[in-house]
Structure 1
Amino acid sequence: MNELDTSGAGTVDGRGSGHSNGHSNGHGNGHGGHGGGDDAEGGRLNGYADGDAYVRHTGPKVVALGGGHGLSASLSALRRLTDDLTAVVTVADDGGSSGRLRRDMGVLPPGDLRMALAALCGDDEWGNTWSRVIQHRFRCDGDLNGHAVGNLLIVALWELLDDDPVSALQWMGRLLGAHGSVLPMSAVPLDIEADVRGHDRTAPTLVTAVQGQHALAKTPGEVLGIRLTPANPPAVPEAVAAVRDADWVVLGPGSWFTSVLPHLLVPELAAALVETKARKVLALNLAPQPGETDGFSPQRHVEVLAEHAPELEFDVVLGDRDLVDDVDELTRAAAGLGGQVLLAPVAVGDGTPRHDPARLAAAYGRIFTARERIAPWR
């Protein structure tokens, strides 16, 4: 198997498709208890806020940022490699069940948080069952129609815990036996506004302000840039601390303008991403998203990110070897971020643009185990 070339902003064409070995994480079965983890070599004994219990973590400290299906795919892969995993999730959804709860109750949109929790559920009977339960949507003629069970559980916990979003998500994670933690990137609901050229099909050169994640995800035309409302929102302190304390930070894959880039517009979180000593991976999408990133090449995704966060650097840009047409251009774009390219088979292989968790885990595993050959700690 080829190793990462660290002589410069090189390209690695990963031809292996081996599966990574999972780690025992010592989590309880959902009853709120956490047993001691494996006494694996290199494990860290950390205090755990559950009585006098402790948990020994195996694997690196990893923070994954994003939202929606892209973050879910990344978490499903990463939980196979480490049990010290934190998801930092965007909170700008304004559609569907999340949008209704947000408007009716003034809460954070819970949908992307729920999906992250579901992705962290184990592969045993407990995990599979609870993942299905919280993802289940009611189908009826009444007000519950379309609501996801997990969304309602999260909002109920927020109400019971005096709108403490972090504690509520910790309780949900304990119920599910989640293999990691989930945090919102901000404690206030956010709105996304974008400048879009050609949103009005009758005026293809006109630049229009499009408001809301739901509208932006379906917009025709070219998205030129995004901003958040309120501007300069506060970050959740625990999310900032997790990024600063991480060994690895993974950004993407996911809807580029509505799930990935919003993290870079929260000042405290953006500063933590720039200043952390963690090594960083940018995981690319497998295909452009209709409307939001129509016509985007892999390198254009990288360039747009650099435009929104010019000081942010990455060690590795991860793409699928069969879906990158211009490797030289992607290598050039990655070098602009200070990193190199790893090409590996990460798609499901049936022609649909979906990440395969086992293949994605194998790619992340190659990156993590090559850590001494990537770059010195900053």
Structure 2
Amino acid sequence: MSLVTGQIPLVPPRPADRPGERIKVAALGGGHGLSASLSALRRLTPDITAIVTVADDGGSSGRLRAEYDVLPPGDLRMALAALCDDSDWGRTWRDVMQHRFRGTGPVPSSLENHALGNLLIVTLWELLGNPVDGLKWAGALLGARGTVLPMSTTPLTIRGSVRDEVEGDGVSLRQVDGQANLAHASRFGSIQSVEIEPADAPACREALDAIELSDWVVLGPGSWYTSILPHVLLPELRRALESTTANRLLTMNLRTQTRETPGMSAADHLEVFRRYAPDLRIDAVLVDPSVVEDVEEFRAAAARLGATCFFDKVGAATGRAVHSPLRLANAYHDVFTSFCSRDTGSEEP
């Protein structure tokens, strides 16, 4: 129902295409980081394919994954919601997809903390028997400005090695299984390495095609070890990223000191990425100058990836460490335009 007129639209509205909108973009990541990039990119083009991590095992997604043996729907739901446009239809369905049930009755609710969008996606999967088809139907219902795909149709598990400090200035390494457990464990130690299981899981075929046919591939922002790196840990996906003729853009986070990356600088993030994907060339790195402590060190790390640095203020005006969709869209536009004009110069922070 339209929140303005109180009437139910017969079809979801489609934004009119404008000249220059037809650039094809594949955006990779998960969670709030991918939502940020999608919210920006949908302001630039309707040809977006979101390729989403499928290793979440916490909260509503983890419960549905365990109970129904399906892909975790949460990050896929967030990507769909981010692609809803700013019309009555889009805003209403975005809120519907993100709505979480909170029981208020005297009896504990089995729906407690489930997101309605997660239940809708799992319903479509059960009815259609195909995760890609289910996401297409969900996108059509929402009027999503783009396509959402899982990075693999096989549920993945993240395993990490966490370095803990012990008494006597010693250290110990312990193995942690599961994304939720790894995020919790990293509060008390630093992640040293990550891997996914099954290590040889097949990538989603449609995702591989989207990477091959895109003009730009955008990775990040997002949790470095659990949202960004899984895409290069999947062999088929990493090879597709290495071989595509698309330009590749890596978007940095607005904070370097997170639960997953304590003590790491912005340059350290790039070095970790290069360690897991040494043959993957990155064309551009977009970073807010506020997170770069040593500009020359950062430029050098980017150069080892083959990348040109673009410094731009992309954080929200509130000062919180969240991306502004409009600022990020403008920054993406500048990067895309720069490469189209063969001018790869960058602005100083």
What TM-score comes out, normalization by structure 2 length?
A: 0.90
Aligned to 2:122: 155
Aligned to 2:71: 108
Aligned to 2:256: 288
Tell me: CA distance 1:203–1:59, structure 2 relative to 1, closer, same or farther (3 Å): farther
**Pair 1:74 & 2:40 matched:** no
Gaps of 5+ in 1: 1-28, 43-57
> 2:177 is matched by which residue type in structure 1?
Q
**Pair 1:193 & 2:159 matched:** yes
Secondary structure at the residue paired with 2:287?
strand
Aligned to 1:9: none
The CA deviation at 1:370 is 1.2
Aligned to 1:240: 208
Percent identity between matched residues is 53
The CA deviation at 1:96 is 0.1
Aligned pairs (5 A) from 1:205-220: 205-218=171-184, 219=186, 220=188
The whole-number CA distance in structure 2 between the counterparts of 1:88 and 1:256 is: 16
| Greater fraction of residues in helix | 2
Aligned to 1:344: 312
The whole-number CA distance in structure 1 between the counterparts of 2:167 and 2:315 is: 33
> 1:315 is matched by which residue type in structure 2?
D
The correspondence for 2:135, drawn from 161, 169, 175, is 169
> 2:155 is matched by which residue type in structure 1?
P
The CA deviation at 1:32 is 7.3
User: Does the CA contact (< 8 Å) of 1:232 and 1:265 recur in 2?
Assistant: no
Q: Identify the structure with bigger relative contact order (alpha carbons < 8 Å, sequence gap 6+).
A: 1
Aligned to 1:260: 228
The whole-number CA distance in structure 2 between the counterparts of 1:233 and 1:77 is: 30
> 2:312 is matched by which residue type in structure 1?
A
Q: How many residues in Structure 1 have an aligned counterpart in Structure 2?
A: 329
The CA deviation at 1:116 is 0.2
User: Does the CA contact (< 8 Å) of 2:250 and 2:286 recur in 1?
Assistant: yes
The whole-number CA distance in structure 2 between the counterparts of 1:280 and 1:30 is: 39
Give every structure 1 segment of 4 or more consecutive aligned residues whose post-TM-superposition deviation is greater than 2 Å.
29-35, 199-204, 288-291
Gaps of 5+ in 2: 1-8, 345-349
Aligned pairs (5 A) from 1:1-378: 31=11, 38=17, 40-41=18-19, 58-140=21-103, 141-162=108-129, 164-198=130-164, 205-218=171-184, 219=186, 220-288=188-256, 290-372=258-340, 373=342
Secondary structure at the residue paired with 2:229?
helix
Tell me: CA distance 1:204–1:362, structure 2 relative to 1, closer, same or farther (3 Å): farther
The whole-number CA distance in structure 1 between the counterparts of 2:139 and 2:329 is: 22
User: Does the CA contact (< 8 Å) of 1:31 and 1:174 recur in 2?
Assistant: no
Tell me: CA distance 1:30–1:182, structure 2 relative to 1, closer, same or farther (3 Å): farther
Aligned to 1:50: none
The whole-number CA distance in structure 1 between the counterparts of 2:142 and 2:168 is: 50
Q: Give CA deviations for 1:107-140 in whole Å, capped at 9, x if unaligned.
A: 0000000000000001011100000001000001
